Amino acid sequence: MAARLRVFSRPLSTPVIGCGSSSGLIAARNAAQKSISFSNTLAETAPRVLSLQRDFLRSVPWIKRAYGVMLPVPEMRALLTEAFRAKSGTSEVHTVNRLIVMGRMELEETLMLWKGASHVNNWFDAAQEAKAVADAKPVGFLDSFFEGRPAPNA
């Protein structure tokens, strides 16, 4: 008996667009979300912002592998979440719409490998540095006194 060669082919349920995830679902949603017209109220922008943030957070493991980011995945996710929280006080609808579109473009450029590794690594380095500066305790008189340094204002 001759051995039979079996070929398995299964149709994809969604088109594979980009390379940011194994199935391309994030890239497909990114393409669909970019085509949505601008929101008229802040309430309409909230689901779009959350969708963008979720897509970024879901893409972190792939971005880490593709660009060789040396940070652990939880820290990368924390830095991205902090970047979204930093913009959470924005109350202008047009500004929020612009930030959403810019965020979608950044995600697409990252997933399609249109950025260099240095661009992605520099963003995470800058975010880490900004977080360190924000978390730094201000130097007061007693801190300087106990360390034997002159007061910061003197």
pLDDT at residue 90 is higher than 80: yes
Angle formed at CA 55 by CA 54 and CA 57, multiple of 5 degrees: 65
Residue 102 neighbours by CB distance under 10 Å: 11
Residue 24 φ/ψ region, left for φ over 0, alpha for ψ in the -120 to 50 degree band, beta for the rest:
left
User: What confidence tens digit (pLDDT) does each residue in 106-136 have?
Assistant: 999 999 999 999 999 999 999 999 998 888 8
Per-domain boundaries in the chain = 15-116
- Can you tell me the distance from the alpha carbon of 48 to that of 55, in angstroms, rounded to the nearest whole number? 11
> What are the pLDDT digits (tens) for 15-52?
434 454 444 677 677 667 666 678 889 999 999 999 99
Asked if 41 and 93 touch (Cβ cutoff 8 Å), the reply is yes
| Residue 25 vs residues 14, 68, 77, 120, 132: alpha-carbon distances, Å | 7, 22, 19, 22, 34
What single-letter amino acid sits at 117? A
Q: Using alpha carbons, select from 81, 64, 88, 72 the residue that is nearest to residue 127.
A: 81
How far apart, in whole angstroms, are the C-alpha atoms of residue 114 and residue 12? 25
Structure tokens at 126: 């800058």
Report whether pLDDT(151) > 70: no
pTM beyond cutoff 0.85: no
Quick one: pLDDT at residue 10?
Answer: 44
